[in-house]
Structure 1
Amino acid sequence: MLDKQIIALIRLSLIPGIGPVSSRKFLQYFDRPAAIFSGEWPQELPRLSERLQESLAMDQYLKQAERYYNRALKLGITVISYEHQEYPDYLNQCPDAPLVLYCKGKIQANASPGLAVVGTRSMTPYGRDFCREFIQELQRHNPIIISGLAYGVDICGQRAALKSGLQTIACLAHGLDCIYPSAHQADALAIMNQGGLISEFPPGIRPRPEYFLRRNRLIAGMAQATVVIETGDQGGSLVTADYALGYHREVFAVPGRLSDPMSAGCNRLISQQRAQLLRSAGELAVALNWKSSLQEKAPLTESIPNSEASFPAGWSRSRVAIATFLRDRQKCQIDALLIATKIPPALLNQELFLMEMEGLIQGFPGKSYSWVRKAGF
């Protein structure tokens, strides 16, 4: 059975010269979307150009909308309008949100706050290790991890979400009848069982460079906040951060070494005060006022040192483990830290660097470190 209102919205989105912002303003003058194409327009409606009037009357857009809708149904793709209760609430607050979304999977977009996790396709071991640990630590807060299924940080974050039992949503820059990149077909199937795929593009539309920018606005729009794990001076994740800032959402960036080109974008976001410096999941939870929904569950607490309570709230497990080990020793080689804490080398080096800059520890020649007593913990 055809849904005339959904088809009317698809038809409206196909008409040249009227984007999502104008479409939403246009719809305010009608009691239902299909009334737009009745030819009987309210007197208070601003005068339309002759070209737009002609486009609204063309049957070709109606037939195309019906083809898209019918094909979506045959492929098991759900089509929802911006008025549907399952349309993502955060996205609906954005003035340029799509009129319709195409969805596959078990999406519950409004069940928990969404967190966009984005970054470079050329992820370093440091970015990989941080991303995995960060999302594992987020498990207790049960956010929805939103990303774009791309190589690098995107797929790392979504795989970590799947492993941690978190819902994850992949926003795509094409119709849901294909997966790009094709190497992530298996990941897409797994995501559909623990979240889903979302696109504003109907089936049959293939990826194009400009579509990825539109996809990035969905990622930012669906999320309460955006986290940039790693990025160079240019890249799509910086566009996503720009969208998030434009929607008045929080942006966080993970700092990196000044000499690391894959941290240049994050460092710049922080230095320009366009993003908050992020070192752990705890810091994010404090900044967003998230409460733990799983605090009492053993799997999340058994590996956390008992002395965690003696350190500031928001410290990551890695930082607590390093501080706990160093605090009771005069001096320690980095090899001993690696063995004792089991922290991945890239992440350990970065955490030690940050702690030394903050005056919490002191470094010595030969990669030795000691706790600074005046730190007070």
Structure 2
Amino acid sequence: MSIFDKDLDRWHTRSEKWDGMLEKFGTSDLIPLWEADMDCKCSPQIIDHFRKRVEHGVFGYTIRDDAFFNAIINWQARRNNWQIEKEWIRNAPGTIPALSAAILAFTEPGDEIIIQEPVYYRFFNSIILNERKTLHNTMIFDGDQYLLDFEGLENMITERTKMIVICNPQNPVGKVFTKEELLRIGEICLKHNILIVSDELYSDILFDGRKHYPIASLSEALKMNTITMFGPGKGFNLPGLKASIVTIANPELMKIYDRTADAIELFMKNLFSIEGVIAAYEYSEEWLDEITVLLQEKRDYVVDYIRTNIPEINIVKPEGTYIAWLDMRFLNMSDAELEAFLVNEAKIGVKYGHTFGKGGSGFIRINFASSKTLLEEALERLADAVKKQLAK
């Protein structure tokens, strides 16, 4: 049986991606390509690990023991050649709560925080709802790939600029930052005393032999000026566990972060999140390597299909993640019109580009971590709808 089993049924499992379509789109009669989880079971090793825990039958308060810390430390050493220490590690119920805690800890209302758009839309909530100001360092789209605007980054900095939030690999465009790009970001931030918060949640899914570089691993100065967030949620299909990890090497920064995180009870421990981290990082590496190969094949299939059958769509070929960014501006529709077209004509559920900030209007994000059968039907629907629209 394939990891992406065409017969896997996720209906009526309280799946946001599937059962949440009615609330999100006003109909359940869509192929869901929107929410970023995978239509597959997690690794047999993880399932067996959970089964043994369930059979024990007691789900009381839990601790983070050496097995938890060692799984994280060994994972980063093996996969990313990043040597981290137990004292740097904290848990969090997701990267966004961890980001919000960092914003509260290290900035004041009215301070400026840089983001590089288009980027995950919940970054905006963490900034705006905490009464901070967003600085928009919009990436440059050259028609093929996204480039970082270093000149714009440095020119926008003021005395109120306190933090930059980077997303590597980048959601939604699938960009994997190069070592040189990260060093240039780091150089600018160190020069202007700007704290780096790095969301590296998708870092386990990389294509074409690319390597992930945690920015905190690139120099001693960057190590002491970076808060890194990652976890097994995306790579091992465990996002519902909210099993995120925060690392801070600088003890002074950690004291400040701990005080804020404790005030909002960020470090409450979930038993299955802890078990999920251990089962993923210690026992499921071979499964991750296998599914990455499959995801790259799916990426290639989606890119080839669109370029062959819907050449009007300019698809940005992702370097990592399992999401693809499609330029739909040739339809000359407003964002509202594009949403209606995709729901009513193409009958697919996607994430709309304008929600990812500046530069996202007219684009859509699709999730290709599904069965070949489902992807084929979704792409055929999109191709037919575009053909009919252009014929009008």
TM-score over 0.5 for the pair? no
Larger radius of gyration: 1
Q: TM-score if structure 2 supplies the norm length?
A: 0.30
Bigger relative contact order (CA 8 A; separation at least 6): 2
State the TM-score, normalizing by the size of structure 1. 0.31
